[in-house]
Structure 1
Amino acid sequence: MTIQTNKLHPQYLKNSTGTPSFVVLPVLEYEELIEDYNDLTVMNERENEDRISLSDFKKIIANY
């Protein structure tokens, strides 16, 4: 599941000079961002792992 940035609803909190200092997101949007980050981290870690073809995978699971 990937959240699109155009579907985020951030609220910006500004300091006394009017400079944005913090961002507030609805909890669901924050949790989806964290989930996406974790998914990308796992994908990056597995990037160099061995791969098998779909047909080989089907053969393997057919034996179970």
Structure 2
Amino acid sequence: MKTAFEKLQHSQSKLGEAIYSQAGSPDGASSAAGAEGAHAGATADEDIVDAEIIDEDEKK
């Protein structure tokens, strides 16, 4: 049973590698290596506000 699980895990790993290698960006950089976070394209002069909208009428 353990051997079958290890084979499955190995094949899933190879499948994941194949998917990520094919999903590279057009400029040649891989998506995993180029990921810098959620605000990678934001510039310093942008006013970014994290907010939550609460509908007061819904609470009544």
TM-score, normalised via structure 2 length: 0.41
> Which structure has more strand as a fraction of its residues?
1
TM-score, normalised via structure 1 length: 0.38
